Amino acid sequence: MKPAVFVARPIPAAVEAFLREHCEVRKWDSYEPIGRDRYFAELAAVEGLITSGGLVNRELLSHAPKLKIVSNISVGYNNLDIEALRERGIVATHTPGALDETVADLVFSLILATARRVPEMDKLVRAGEWRKGDDRVLFGVDVHHKKLGIIGMGRIGEAIARRAKLGFRMDVAYHNRSRKPEVEAAYGAEYRTLPELLAESDFIVLMTPLTKDTERLIGREQFAAMKRSAIFINASRGQTVDEQAMIAALQDGTIRGAGLDVFEQEPVSPDNPLLQLPNVVVLPHLGSATTETRDAMAMLAARNLIDGLEGRTPPNVIPELRA
């Protein structure tokens, strides 16, 4: 008898077909949130769950007595209660690797768009405000040959470093929990303490996972340590930054600008002051949002799930739950 699984979001047809070869599949085929009662009812008899950022906590697990594995379609997993999963002996996986290059592309789009004021200039042209005269009011800043500081040198950080060094001839500095000699050798990246990196870098990219140690890692003190010409990029999680401190730094010229794909509260409120600042480029959490990458992430999540259900150790068990 095939194990029963629940898929809490739409998935590509090829991924569903793969799952049905191994499982009895029930799914929520809408991007609208599933109702609480329906969700808990679906979980009552399943051994596997595929979710994408949905909260998995003690309450949810209490309605899933047979659950053996949770497969998260995401590289981040702050939506999962790790301790509750550990207590129940439930395996949890994520999808690292599948999105590295795509997120790195997006990070560089934010760097370029912010440095060259692309959204601001697009708006100016569309509004009929482009005039002949002193073009200096339209100037941005160069990206090539500048110094890029990366906070969090994981796989995505390395993909960003590669683009910076080989594509834009930038000097690369990084701060990480541990040094990465292979990245230093490949791209001439220099390890820096966090204060050193903040003080030296022209562009600062935050790519740390959200943990107790990284929550509000960048705040008033850190923005004050940056160059006034610095551009700050966040494509990690909104909670890794003190958003009010960032707003103040952008408003008073402590830093030049910011490119943001993530926010403390998502979706962003229309009243958020960030949306009124011309020196900020904002995106709706699009890091991995291409058809190719999201399909690959869904298939990887499905393969993780099947490995766990069939008694194999999935290759992408969340680090805190590895034996």
Give the contacts of 126 (CB within 8 A, at least 6 positions apart): none
Whether 285 is catalytic: yes
| Encoded tokens for 7 | 């898929």
DSSP label at residue 274: G
Give the contacts of 83 (CB within 8 A, at least 6 positions apart): none
Given the DSSP bridges, would you call strands 48-51 and 24-27 parallel, antiparallel or unpaired? unpaired
Q: Report d(CA 130, CA 38) in Å as an integer.
A: 54
Query: Can you point out the beta strands (E) in the chain?
Result: 4-7, 24-27, 48-51, 69-72, 91-93, 147-151, 171-175, 190-191, 203-206, 231-234, 257-260, 280-282
Q: What is the CA radius of gyration of the chain?
A: 22
Tokens 């595929």 belong to which residue? 50
Q: How far is CA 200 from the centre of its chain?
A: 25
Q: Read off the pTM.
A: 0.92
Tokens 């834009």 belong to which residue? 168
Task: Return the bridge partners of 172, or none.
Answer: 148
Whether 220 is catalytic: no
Q: Report d(CA 119, CA 140) in Å as an integer.
A: 12
pLDDT of amino acid 244: 98
Active-site annotation holder among 9, 192, 237, 303: 237
Sheet of 91-93, strands arranged across: 24-27, 4-7, 48-51, 69-72, 91-93
pLDDT of amino acid 310: 97
Domains 4-97+291-321 and 100-282 alike in fold: yes
Whether 237 is catalytic: yes
pLDDT of amino acid 323: 72
CATH topology of domain 100-282: Rossmann fold (3.40.50)
DSSP label at residue 148: E
pLDDT tens by residue, the chain, 323 residues: 899 999 999 999 999 999 999 999 999 999 898 999 999 999 999 999 999 989 999 999 999 999 999 999 999 898 999 999 999 999 999 999 999 999 999 999 999 999 999 999 999 999 999 988 878 899 999 999 999 999 999 999 999 999 999 999 999 999 999 999 999 999 999 999 999 999 999 999 999 999 999 999 999 999 999 999 999 999 999 999 999 999 999 999 999 999 999 999 999 999 999 999 999 999 999 999 999 999 999 999 999 999 999 999 999 999 999 87
pLDDT of amino acid 53: 86
Backbone angles phi, psi at 61, to 5 degrees: -65, -30
Backbone angles phi, psi at 171, to 5 degrees: -80, 135
Every domain of the chain and the residues it spans: 4-97+291-321, 100-282
Q: How far lies 49's CA from each of 56, 61, 64, 224, 291, in Å?
A: 10, 11, 10, 44, 22
Active-site annotation holder among 182, 266, 310, 320: 266
* CATH number belonging to domain 4-97+291-321: 3.40.50.720
Q: How far is CA 20 from the centre of its chain?
A: 30
Q: Left if phi > 0, otherwise alpha if psi is -120 to 50, otherwise beta: which for 53?
A: left
